[in-house]
A and B are shown apart, each in its own frame.
Chain A
Amino acid sequence: MPCRLLALLCLFLASPLAAQPASPVSPPIPDMDNRMAACAGCHGEYGRSQRETYYPSIAGKPAGYLYEQLLNFRAGRRHQTQMQQMLTPLSTDYMREMAAYYAGQTAARHPSDADALDPAAAARGEQLALHGDAALDVPACRDCHGAGLRGGGPYVPGLVGLRREYIEAQLGGWQSGARSALAPDCMATIAQRLSGEDMAAVAGWIAAQPVQPKAAGETEIGPLPMNCGAVR
């Protein structure tokens, strides 16, 4: 019995998510709200994007994920000139602190996304998000993005609090190749199996979910249903 426990533990430690260092924990930085005014211009105060549909909310996303994206933007692996220019003169230490700051904020649903779907689309969206579609060989969103869709680890983004149009645009980006990740590129594979209606349905359903308070340990994610190159 102890042997089996040990084997399980080994398995867990060997899993790619467990191999990542824990999210960086830093003491609060004084005046961070004002230091981040440049980010708030697009991503909203406290990272809750209210006005700009295509600028995502970043509040409450996993710190490791946000930090990784900052590195990706600065290196041009994610393409956005504005983000790249912003980050060019910043240290990685500061970028970690920025990521931790936004991870510590609370996500919020945008009021206009609350009930924008018709019932059939909402049902389809819920099915994809919570159960997936075996016929299409598409896993449920929550299998990777967590039960509360908050993401986890350095590589899985949270989805709660994102605007419907933003999620739909990102899915379209994965499908067309405008967004990509290391091979095997899970999100590209999944997006290519979805129709336009499916994308709209699942984006609408996710955006309509009220944001619950974060539960402890919620951003620890189990083994993934697919082999994803981005989750190293």
Chain B
Amino acid sequence: MMRLTRWLVGLCGVALIMAAAAFLPRLWPDVGMPQVADTHPDTGDAALIERGRYLARAGNCIGCHTGPGGEPYAGGRRIETPFGDLYTTNLTPDAASGLGTWTAADFWRAMHHGRSRDGRLLYPAFPYPDYTQVSRADSDAIYVFLQSLEPVAADTPPHALRFPYNTQLALRIWRGLFFEPGEFRAAPDKSDAWNRGAYLVEGLGHCGACHTARGRLGQTLASADYGGGRIPGLRWTAPALSGASPMSAARAEELKTLLATGVSRRNVTSGPMAEVVFHSLQYLREADIAAMVEYLRQLPPTSPTLDGPAGLRVPPSQAKRLLKQGRALYVDHCESCHGEDGLGEPRRYPALAGNALVTANATSNVIRSVLEGGFGPSTAGNPRPYGMPPYAHQFSAQQTAAVISYIRQAWGNEASAVSPLDINR
């Protein structure tokens, strides 16, 4: 008996060693610094700087790499993650605190391989799992643009990650499991617009960083591509970009207007997406927006349940009371803008009837919108957006749940009632 146990333990040990040996090659090639040739792009080339400025907009570098009240691109914004807080780095060419001593090869190593100049592995909150698709030529252009900025001396606050996530070993394992440097390959059977859209959405746009669900270790789940996801650190959910059926031409036109101006006939961008439009998408050429939409409208369908956790179940008798109360509140507080028919007003107040944000399985966005209100983004196409008042200080949790339950079931909307217990979760 003893011998059998010992034998079994030994067998397990051998199996473990074999498994580790099989995994090691995944870790090993990563150990040394990837050898990267320097292309020596011309940092004085005005056209290249402009190209880089545009591409940096497409990548929304400024959105994360600008601290509150800080200089653009000088970093310092806190990024909340489930593993602790990270602070974004200074991208201006300051020698001591920024990228002043970096070469184009160093920059490419960060964008493509996720390694810093000194070889440190970078945290994937910097979306290099997406940026790895960006071409070397585009990476060089962004580098040249960043080097053209006024240097700003701004040290990055130290990251505040919990053990073991604050170790390079943890990153090495994470990368072994979830990251491989990639390269964008055009699909020959697709149109040029589709391919350009795919390049922008998958690469610089890093749309999947929010719109794809993440696993326990923060990796985006390939099985849930663009099925929507909870945004790490924020109480917002990024809705699914892939639908059950392909997007109609009319909806594609709406989406183009929404991405370019922040507002469309029926919709308004809010929360983190308003920031993306404000800092990034409004600056993109019409053809690039059209290309992104062309790619998005042909995404393969995913299950819509991936857009976030559903709320608590509300018993039918309580739901009935909530709906009655919600209807009265809607008439008093919401109807003057969103209308008796829930259709809102084009380019001013979003329609609530048929609005996927309102009826989403994950209720966090509609709850945030009612509690916090907010403006759509100021853009060239819509410089003076209308805004929604916050109701956090006017409505109790019960009233908030009531009005949301009502709009989720009025005008043909068919979504579950929302429990008052979900409001402040």
Binding site for B on A (CB under 8 A): 29, 34-42, 52, 74-77, 82, 84-91, 93-94, 97
* A37→B378 contact, CB < 8 A: no
Q: How does the 8 Å CB contact mask read for B368-401 relative to A, with 1 for contact and 0 for none?
A: 0000111111100001111111111110000000
By secondary structure, the A interface counts as: helix
Inter-chain contacts of A85 with B (CB < 8 A): 372, 374
* B278→A76 contact, CB < 8 A: no
Range of interface residues on B (Cβ < 8 Å): 20 to 34
Enumerate the 7 nearest inter-chain pairs by beta-carbon distance, A residue then B residue, closest first. A41-B389, A75-B69, A38-B387, A91-B378, A89-B377, A76-B68, A89-B274
Q: Report if B129 contacts A (CB, 8 A).
A: no
B373 touches which one: A34, A41, A90, A97 (CB < 8 A)? A41
Measured CB to CB, the nearest residue on chain A to B277 is A89
* B275→A35 contact, CB < 8 A: no
A85 to B324, CA, bound (A): 32
Inter-chain contacts of B388 with A (CB < 8 A): 37-38
Within the complex, the shortest CB–CB distance from B338 to chain A, in Å, comes to: 12
* B378→A38 contact, CB < 8 A: no
Number of A-B contacts (CB under 8 A): 81
Binding site for A on B (CB under 8 A): 68-70, 262, 274-275, 277-278, 337, 348, 372-378, 383-394
Within the complex, the shortest CB–CB distance from A176 to chain B, in Å, comes to: 22
By secondary structure, the B interface counts as: loop
Contact A37/B337 with A88-B275, A91-B383 known, Cβ cut-off 8 Å: yes
B275 touches which one: A36, A42, A89, A91 (CB < 8 A)? A89
* B375→A38 contact, CB < 8 A: yes
* B386→A82 contact, CB < 8 A: no
A52 to B388, CA, bound (A): 18
Inter-chain contacts of A37 with B (CB < 8 A): 337, 386-389
Within the complex, the shortest CB–CB distance from B409 to chain A, in Å, comes to: 25
* A94→B383 contact, CB < 8 A: yes
Inter-chain contacts of B378 with A (CB < 8 A): 89-91, 93-94
Scoring A77, A91, A97 by chain B CB atoms within 10 A of each residue's CB, the highest score goes to: A91
Within the complex, the shortest CB–CB distance from A133 to chain B, in Å, comes to: 36
* B68→A75 contact, CB < 8 A: yes
* A35→B337 contact, CB < 8 A: no
* A82→B387 contact, CB < 8 A: no
Contact A74/B69 with A89-B275, A89-B277, A94-B383 known, Cβ cut-off 8 Å: yes
Within the complex, the shortest CB–CB distance from B280 to chain A, in Å, comes to: 11
Inter-chain contacts of B387 with A (CB < 8 A): 35-39, 86
A124 to B50, CA, bound (A): 63
* B390→A89 contact, CB < 8 A: no
